[in-house]
Amino acid sequence: MQNEIIYMDNAATTRVDPAVVEAMLPFFTERYAVASSQFSHSPGIEVREALDAARATIAQALGAAKPEEVIFTSGETESNNWALKGMARAFRGKKNHLIISKIESRSVLDSAQALEKEGVRVTYLDVDSDGFVNLDQLRASITDDTFLVSIQHANEEVGTIQDIDAIAAIVKERGVAFHTDASHTFTKVPLNLAETPADLVTITAHLIHGPKGIGALYVREGTPIAKWMHGGFMEFNMRGGVENVPGAVGFAKAVEMTSATQVEYIASLRDRLIDGLMARIPKAELNGPRHCRLPGNVNISFHYAEGESTLLHLDMMGIAVVTGSACFSRSLEPSYVLMAMGKTHELAHGSIRYSLSRYNTAEEVDRVIDATAEVIETLRRISPLGKDEK
């Protein structure tokens, strides 16, 4: 077993950059006033200025017209809940139809299902074998009763990057609000809101080497979304509660530290890992497209090898990965994402997701290829699966 863990679960969370921690520290111990105390004393004004600067940095990275369009939240889950439920509340009694895809994140799927229990009609769009949304079905599903379409920018499990501009164009042609969860693409895949007509965009810090517990919902000016959390006038009277200033500062610092060069490096590791695994291991199947794929995502199903066993063996070898859907792996159910893509139960259960970051190395990738090949060979040797085919 290696002394150093090889962490390849960066789609779940990432290591916080030391520079991000350094930027946050003064707001715990020195500049700790509440930002909404700006009208009361100088320490509050100083902290408010830091919060405003962080908001401006993130707004610029999104291509937002105004910093005030970025509303800080506790992260992806809250932002997605607010986007769907806030729009449903705003249109209650006027429109009652929501459209999402079958492979959205759990926070979107669960929010949609909760709204169904309240009487909202939900359409779940199909995806093809690579995870791309059916645009014809989307176009046909929009009605005069539709208040929101929510389609993720990219899928965290299989890496599929949707044609978000084409989707937004179809939605806006019908005058309907559009939300996209860009948590896994923000700073990694181009998204310029000066050009892409999304009304609501979810982003989060902990997937780009920022802190946990801070994210944002971009709300384009004029979007009729209801207030999500009551208990104060913070965040332009859109979300009550004391602002997480250290988190916002850390989020902005993480954004500042991203670069196209880093994304290219991560994509090169991804390709090295895909090529190595596919070359070394027969009966391996890449899930999701080879192109239009998140730079750090590799999801492969290994025939005749159960994913949970593969994961456990790799963990004992000091390699951290996940099987199936990361949020679903404690269940005996197969990945809902892979099933929606038409995969068999066997392939869904035999899938392993490796997700890379800028802290991974080519040497680590090569070790993971060797370890996975060894594990799969061992498991297949003792597995009753596929004996007939052998």
CA nearest neighbour of 245 among 35, 57, 42, 23: 35
Domain boundary among 256, 282, 311: 256
CA distance 312 to 125: 34
Do 197 and 305 have their domain in common? no
Q: What CATH code is carried by the domain that includes residue 285?
A: 3.90.1150.10
Query: What type of residue sits at position 245?
Result: V
Helices and strands counted in the chain (H then E): 14, 13
Q: pLDDT at position 331, please?
A: 59
The answer to whether residue 94 sits within a structural domain is yes
Q: pLDDT at position 385, please?
A: 65
Q: Which stretches of the chain are DSSP H helices? A: 18-24, 26-29, 42-62, 76-90, 106-117, 135-141, 164-173, 234-237, 245-256, 260-280, 307-316, 336-340, 345-349, 362-382
Q: Which two tokens stand for residue 223?
A: 């979007």
CA nearest neighbour of 132 among 343, 336, 286, 288: 288
Q: C-alpha angle with apex 162: 153 to 265, nearest 5 degrees?
A: 75
Q: pLDDT at position 388, please?
A: 46
Q: pLDDT at position 1, please?
A: 37
The answer to whether residue 1 sits within a structural domain is no
Do 301 and 354 have their domain in common? yes
Q: How far is CA 155 from each of CA 133, 184, 295, 386, rounded to the nearest angstrom?
A: 11, 8, 12, 30
Do 303 and 241 have their domain in common? no
Do 236 and 302 have their domain in common? no
CA distance 301 to 289: 13
Q: Using DSSP, state whether 145 is helix, strand or coil.
A: coil
The answer to whether residue 389 sits within a structural domain is no
Do 58 and 146 have their domain in common? yes
Q: Using DSSP, state whether 370 is helix, strand or coil.
A: helix
- The pTM of the full predicted model, rounded to 2 decimals, is 0.95
Q: Does 292 participate in catalysis according to the annotation?
A: no
CA distance 330 to 93: 39
Q: pLDDT at position 330, please?
A: 59
Residue tagged active-site, from 198, 207, 255, 327: 327
Q: Which two tokens stand for residue 94?
A: 């006027």
Q: pLDDT at position 245, please?
A: 97
Q: Using DSSP, state whether 189 is helix, strand or coil.
A: coil
The answer to whether residue 387 sits within a structural domain is no
Domain tally, the chain? 2
Whether 197 and 178 have beta carbons less than 8 Å apart is answered as: yes
Do 271 and 231 have their domain in common? no
Q: Give the position of tokens 């035999």.
A: 350
Q: Where in the sequence is the domain holding 374, given as residue range(s)?
A: 6-14+259-382
CA nearest neighbour of 274 among 352, 381, 183: 352
CA nearest neighbour of 269 among 367, 152, 190: 367
Domain boundary among 209, 226, 256: 256
CA nearest neighbour of 57 among 211, 187, 234: 187
Q: Half-sphere exposure of residue 118, counting CA atoms within 13 Å on the CB side? A: 16
Do 301 and 357 have their domain in common? yes
Domain boundary among 234, 256, 278: 256
Q: Which two tokens stand for residue 205?
A: 């810090």
Do 110 and 178 have their domain in common? yes
Whether 71 and 235 have beta carbons less than 8 Å apart is answered as: yes
Task: For 133, list phi and psi in degrees, rounded to 5.
Answer: -65, 145
CA nearest neighbour of 241 among 214, 267, 203: 214
Do 87 and 203 have their domain in common? yes
Q: Using N-to-C axis directions, what is the helix angle for 307-316 and 362-382, rounded to 10°? A: 130
CA distance 383 to 390: 11
Q: pLDDT at position 36, please?
A: 81
Do 209 and 108 have their domain in common? yes
One digit per residue, the tens of pLDDT, for the chain of length 390 reads 345 899 999 999 999 999 999 999 999 999 989 888 766 788 889 999 999 999 999 999 999 999 999 999 999 999 999 999 999 999 999 999 999 999 999 999 999 999 999 999 999 999 999 999 999 999 999 999 999 999 999 999 999 999 999 999 999 999 999 999 999 999 999 999 999 999 999 999 999 999 999 999 999 999 999 998 999 889 999 999 999 999 999 999 999 999 999 999 999 999 999 999 999 999 999 999 999 999 999 999 999 999 999 999 999 999 999 997 455 555 568 899 999 999 998 899 899 999 999 999 999 999 999 999 999 999 999 877 655 454
Do 232 and 338 have their domain in common? no
CA nearest neighbour of 181 among 108, 88, 109, 127: 108
The answer to whether residue 313 sits within a structural domain is yes
The answer to whether residue 322 sits within a structural domain is yes
Whether 321 and 302 have beta carbons less than 8 Å apart is answered as: no
CA distance 39 to 52: 15
